[in-house]
Amino acid sequence: MAQLVVTYKTPKDTAAFDKYYAETHIGLAKKIPGLRKYQINQGPITALAGSSDAYLIAILTFDSAAAIQAGLASPDGQAAAADLPKFATGGADLVLFDTRDL
């Protein structure tokens, strides 16, 4: 398995972010080919060493890192990526990695 983790930083207007994310962006992201699971945090995000500027974390699970890259390169993946500037006014960090169970 592999995961794409998107950390959205606190937006300028949290209510507008929440509305757009729920009504528009999730639908776009769920169309990315190869997506197996889509999770977001519930409740506030805290850091063990103090405050965090993270507002929302999304975890998208795929079969492999190659599947993530192929999904993001697809028209639906490109549409989801192009949508980010429309609502992520605080910025977003995206990381992807393969995972393994221990």
Find the CATH number of the domain harbouring 29: 3.30.70.100
Give, for 85, the enclosing helix (H) or strand (E). none
> What is the rounded distance in angstroms from the CA atom of residue 14 to the CA atom of residue 24?
15
The answer to the question of residue 54 being in a domain is no
- Going by pLDDT thresholds of 50, 70 and 90, the confidence category of residue 87 is very high
- Going by pLDDT thresholds of 50, 70 and 90, the confidence category of residue 78 is very high
Across 19-28, average pLDDT: 97
The answer to the question of residue 49 being in a domain is no
The count of domains in the chain is 1
The answer to the question of residue 27 being in a domain is yes
46 close to 55: Cβ distance less than 8 angstroms: no
Q: Which of 42, 43, 30 is CA-nearest to residue 4?
A: 30
Structure tokens at 31: 């169309």
pTM: 0.92
How many CA atoms lie within 13 Å of 56's alpha carbon, on the beta-carbon side? Answer: 18
Q: What is the pLDDT of residues 43-68, one digit of tens each?
A: 788 888 877 889 999 999 999 999 99
The answer to the question of residue 95 being in a domain is no
The answer to the question of residue 71 being in a domain is yes
Q: What is the pLDDT of residues 88-99, one digit of tens each?
A: 999 999 999 999
Residue-number span of the structural domain to which 25 is assigned: 1-39+60-87
